[in-house]
Copies of this chain bind each other. A is one copy, B any other.
Amino acid sequence: MGKVMRVIRTVKEMKGVVRAFKRVGKSIGFVPTMGYLHEGHLSLVRAAKKENDLVVMSIFVNPIQFAPGEDFERYPRDEKRDFNLAEKEGVDIVFVPSVKEMYPRKNLTFVEVEEITQYLCGGKRPGHFKGVTTVVTKLFNIVMPDRAYFGKKDFQQFKVIKRMVEDLNMDVEVVGCPIVREKDGLALSSRNIYLTEKERESALALYKSLLLARKLIEEGETSAERIKEKMKEFILSFPHVKNVDYVEIVDQDSFKSVEYVKERDLIALAVFVGDARLIDNWVVGEEL
């Protein structure tokens, strides 16, 4: 039996506890989440446990990173289930602030990464990354982690946060962890819960289109335009695909589109399957 996980709901208590640990020289690994945990989140916890004395997970569905009309209200929440999964995985402290606790009055201060947030999900969800970088800054200031763990399913988010940390001289190592997939290849996401059984089959379109891209590249195709076109066509052949939000092939640092594909480029896509907006990506040359 492991230790009992501590549940903290206030900024004040979280700050106090963390600072006590820091004073005695303990290192802190931090896994920020929006809850409704899956194996992807748990893989971050395992990475954090290996490298730190203490693992803190936050569960907070951050309203300011959702645009009006997005799924803030219906985003899945299940605290009890999350606490069980987190405790079993060995999380030491779970930080679950209310919206009021995180934003006690109108928030006027924002942290924004420019340029690289104009593309992909940033282009399609204006204000999204501004909400993400602002809440992550707040969480970093509260939790004071030595290392923070992010999944590479949100590859752009991972890079945006890395850039923010470097630009603002924050004292955190930002660690990116590989995408975790179901046996059939579907990238794990809390939003997969939105899918009906039939839609779940169509959701494989994302992963399979990345396999297609890899095959085309292996066969010698270099034109980003042709690869993207073939991917889109392929994705739209799945019955429950409503809409391809984007398929892009970009430089993984600038996030600008490339004309010819090369190693390290990022192939990223967002697709609406039923009511769920799903994302996936592959860095050319890496495992898939």
Residues on A lying within 8 angstroms of B by beta carbon are 11, 15, 23, 25, 107-116, 133-134, 137-138, 141-142, 163-164, 167-171
Contact = CB atoms under 8 A, between A and B. Distances in A.
27 contacts: A11-B169, A15-B171, A107-B167, A108-B113, A108-B114, A108-B115, A108-B163, A108-B167, A109-B111, A109-B112, A109-B113, A109-B114, A109-B133, A109-B163, A109-B164, A109-B167, A109-B168, A110-B111, A110-B112, A110-B114, A111-B111, A111-B112, A111-B168, A112-B112, A138-B168, A138-B169, A142-B169
A112 B112 CA distance: 8
Contact of A116 (B25, B108, B113, B133): B108
A41 to B, nearest CB: 23
A128 to B, nearest CB: 16
Given A107-B167, A108-B113, A108-B167, 15 more contacts: A11-B169, A15-B169, A108-B115, A109-B112, A109-B133, A109-B163, A109-B164, A109-B167, A110-B111, A111-B111, A111-B112, A112-B112, A134-B168, A141-B168, A142-B169
Contacts of A138: 167-169
Contacts of A116: 108
Contacts of A109: 111-114, 133, 163-164, 167-168
A15 B142 CA distance: 19
A118 to B, nearest CB: 11
Q: Copies per complex?
A: 2
A283 B170 CA distance: 35
Contacts of A164: 109
Contacts of A15: 169, 171
A191 to B, nearest CB: 28
Contacts of A141: 168-171
Contacts of A112: 109-112
Contacts of A113: 108-109
A131 to B, nearest CB: 13
A201 B139 CA distance: 51
Nearest to A14: B169
A183 to B, nearest CB: 39
Contacts of A108: 113-116, 163, 167
A158 to B, nearest CB: 15
A137 B168 contact: yes
A25, A108, A164, A170, most chain B CB atoms within 10 A: A108
Nearest to A141: B169
Contacts of A167: 107-109, 138
A185 to B, nearest CB: 34
A156 to B, nearest CB: 13
Contacts of A137: 111, 168
A171 B142 CA distance: 8
